[in-house]
Amino acid sequence: MGQELIRIAITGGAGQIAYSLLFRIAAGELFGPKTPIALHFLEIPEMVGQLEGLKMELEDSAFSTVQEVKVGSDPYEIFEGIDIAFLVGAKPRGPGMERKDLLLENAKIFSAQGKALNKVANRNVQVLVVGNPCNTNCLIAIHNAPDLHPRQFTSMMRLDQNRAASMLAKRAKVSVDDISNMTVWGNHSTTQVPDFYNAKISGKPAIEVINDIPWLENEFIKAVQQRGAEVIKARGKSSAGSAASSAIDAMRSLLTETPQEGRFSCAVYTKNNPYRIDEDLVFSFPCASGGNFDYSIVADVPWNSFLEEKIRLSENELKEERDLIKHLL
């Protein structure tokens, strides 16, 4: 993208994840300290005043990268001409709210944002959905942006991958840099499947280094699946800093070339996927990128019966979510 101005939109701009994300992007952690950027923030009308305060903070930080800051509540204005979108804002689950109601409320948000992206964004825009339930929210946005290619949309499974890698490193008493090929399959939910069978630790199969299959199949998987809830229980709030960090990791993995034989977790549209997953979902696979968002699903990662059973459960959950909001697709 060179030295041309890059326009980056962040929805839910007054929220904690966006707040953690924006200063890191402004500091050049995504496109580098020499690339000029414009930051566009979208919020619901009653929160736009907070965005004005955010704009002041960015001005006061004197980032040389930031050439323009735009705030507002109209997605057709905020998404105009954007190159990158982080769709962070989503309706959280309230007390007594049924799963179906949560899906329907978010479907309204992401169908509207998909339509706006379709109409006014740069034709090569790259969209990362962070707001939960992110995989189904991403599917909704894809269906409402028919003039954009589905591969321009991904949803964030990188936080799950990072959690899994960190837990394996801690168990094996190594650096997290020693963990490779850690894929999380499926949905960003408690059915997700952290694939320790194909992960490596210091270049060796993780199951050989840790050598405790009962722990890996039970405690490890449950710990990754339930980590978000544990953070809320301990902190009183959902993950923000780690989610923002993982969003940057996710975009960087798509933007830069993946090392040979490497891979990263990314939820993408399933059409023509090599794993026989239903072809109208957004599902997390092992992916690799040739750089500049030219990514593909890594084929031929083997499944044993344990993995296949778990992965199909996650696929079924995503199909159920899709069926609940199908009339909005």
Active site residues: 188
Residue 110 tokens, joined: 């992401």
Secondary structure (DSSP) of 170-236: HHHTS-GGGEE--EEEB-SSTT-EEE-SS-EETTEEHHHHH--HHHIIIIIHHHHHTHHHHHHHHHS
Chain centre distance of CA 55: 25
Quote the tokens at residue 96: 């007594």
Contact between residue 274 and residue 185 where contact means Cβ atoms under 8 Å apart: no
**Half-sphere exposure for 75 (CA within 13 Å, toward CB):** 21
CA 235, CA 290: separation in Å to the nearest integer?
38
Provide the residue count of the chain: 329
